[in-house]
A = this chain, B = another copy of it.
């Protein structure tokens, strides 16, 4: 019980690295690597080995002193921690361009998130087949969420519709929302929202590009440093 509680008391920074670890490990697994040391794994991710071990330490560690990590044990352990030991059925709400793109993105299923329903209100889109699945009418969403036990939904509707859709999703039992709409969502406690703001991403990039360009210019005009 104590250990279980700890499992959730983990810094955000660590949480965001877990998927990266898992991804690399799956790659190693695919090419038949059996053992991997913290140093090897960390180097391939461009982080320090001590950080990786520290991250793993939150979960009690995955090996013993003297023994490297065993890829075949680490992969399922991480999958369990992330919550994808069992595939997590996922709904995509909003079958516009972005929704379609994500529905087509086979990596989602590969990573444990099979798309079990694509929904839209637009009659022109309903019935359209994407990777073998028809776009369904929003009216069916409660039924499908209940039937498939969907807990995670990907939101790709216009900002104006996002809150209303969110309310329906939450009422139907969805606990996690991956929000691509450029708006903030209000949800009751216990429901998790992750905002994926493309515009924010590209602006952060732009800031750094701006800095890099300035730095390069300065360097060019004063090649020997200040």
A30 within 8 A of B: no
Determine whether the beta carbon of A111 is less than 8 Å from that of B203: yes
Binds B, one of A34-42, A60-68, A79-87, A120-128: A79-87
- Say yes or no: is A160 at the interface (Cβ < 8 Å to chain B): no
Q: Across the interface, do B83 and A199 meet the contact criterion of CB distance under 8 Å?
A: no
Identify which of A14-22, A137-145, A161-169 touches chain B: A14-22
From the candidates B22, B100, B202, B211, name the one contacting A113 in the complex (CB within 8 A).
B202
The B-contacting residues of A in range 73-100, CB under 8 angstroms, are 81-84, 88, 90, 96-98, 100
**Chain B contacts for A200, CB-based, 8 A:** 16, 19-20, 23
Interface residue from B154, B191, B198, B211 paired with A107 (Cβ < 8 Å):
B198
Residues 157 to 201 of chain A near chain B (Cβ within 8 Å): 175-178, 182, 184, 190-192, 194, 196-201
Interface status of A47 (Cβ within 8 A of chain B): no
A98: chain B residues within 8 A (beta carbon): 101, 105
A33 interfacial contact with B, CB 8 Å: no
Residues of the B chain whose Cβ atoms lie less than 8 Å from the Cβ of A177: 205
User: From residue A139, how far is it (CB to closest CB) to chain B in Å?
Assistant: 25
11 cross-chain CB contacts under 8 A:
A15-B207, A19-B197, A23-B200, A108-B198, A112-B203, A112-B206, A152-B202, A176-B206, A177-B205, A192-B212, A194-B201
